[in-house]
Structure 1
């Protein structure tokens, strides 16, 4: 087979890149090792920055998002038993974010690809990338007992943290930066109305919690838990009880509980791989970087990678220029490191760190009070949360 761009990974970044390339008249094949049902079953982020919203509109898949998504103009910070609102829209000259689950976004992109009859190979086994340091890269995979090979001009590694693309780069050609946090997030999804119309980020002596949502009838809640905890250790009843203890009385009273639709524990890490280009192969999204979910940056950084990569590939074909692909990595990393910094800072501000003791709690409370009391500090928070400009 022959195509212009071989995309490894059918998550949001791979599907979005494929859709944008299709709109520009550039051929692409997407390979995914899992089934489509598995991809849709992954419960992930749900906060979209304006950059991501605009990109979905550009891809022609924003209709349902605008119809069913929930615009948010602020969020609450809960500490010391009291809630304080960050007015994102007021502090950023009118910017906002959109609550729209990654599962729904993925479904929209899948449907668009299916409608356009574009090639996606699910359950592609033993995917390998070859000759990406030449002008004629190739991708091999197995399907239905047969080995297939794709010749292409470019390989887009959108295959996640454990994917084959970054793993195929020679060890000396990539530098990896990583910080692993000493706790995880226990998440619970339920068909219950959200406890509040906006998100509540809570810093309590018992640990961090987050009250989020996917719709007006579906809620997503998180608790900071030790890495030694297992999902089996937490019944639904135990989760709801612990969440109540980390909330203020008004939220506690409004909390509607119900059976969990999904429950999982996610470890937290900060990770960046540099560079993101290796000859004719490019990394995008989780293949190149991971952020703690505290700042809701993971999906949005992946979308900005796709924006830069798509523009670079279009420039190559339309203008016969390699300027975009030559600068792809540097442009992405400037934005990525700012997103990493914000996510690291917000995580450190809101969570209990086992070795910090009582002084850690006091220092956090002092910084939170300063954050709320200073318009300049609140503006910095709001600007980063809604998303820095490209």
Structure 2
């Protein structure tokens, strides 16, 4: 933790983290000279037939290595004069992410967690906590649906459907509900180090009186080469791909107290903001952007497919994400030595900390993108 990144002291405590982050966000609005403004979360997107969809308004670009994003913040604010970084909003995450359904599934199904070492423990020994189960629309197109719930640490194998119903009620679409009911198994893994921060965007012409809050992140990630994170002869490693991504997502908006909500006006402002941030990126990074239309989870699946991993292998393994929280498997043994159990947590650690392809530190990433 440094003096300029006070949120890092709350990295294990979501409640304290998001509470203090909201204070820095409010302070940034005041600094811009706006008074009497109130924060609102991104609203439901209401379709013509009256359906209320939970939409994740986000965009991203993928690059070969995180070094390409050096100086990102300064470049963005230079290119977009009405984009203002929220001071002290920097935070970091380590995200092991498991794909729980195949490429032929109608939605993405994933289990994501955060990753921490115990106090005074070697930093390369981490354990998943704060597990979340999510269903998302396929691809990286506009207006993707996203439904996500936190899983209890003491019961990571709990059926997530009751939690989703409790969180979304009648706004949980039937096709999503029915997909959640389908059996889940680990198809592959991605390890992500995320340097996250926030910005505020204004544009009187396109956003009116609204101030759009943008959650941004720079990710460095590794994709495992096998569903069980074992060594892959095809990849000559247990890691298949290492890339970076810059992502921006609308977190919500500020409106003057008493402002009458207008669905179409808010969503027009959201979509304009997404485009405004995208506009300079081709000039800044066009020569390095990898043209990928897949989400992170889909990249896991297509990477494994390219290495010859078949669905039959995934089905036979029938891995569950909580197995990777254990240093000794209850029933899985090493292929070359059946007397030894598989340490799936150790393999998950290698996805982040393998010396040849170790993901960078969170503070280093934040320093890089200043």
Question: What's the TM-score once normalised by structure 1's chain length?
Answer: 0.22
Structure number with the higher helix fraction is: 1
User: Structure with the greater relative contact order (CA < 8 A, sep ≥ 6): 1 or 2?
Assistant: 2
Question: What's the TM-score once normalised by structure 2's chain length?
Answer: 0.23
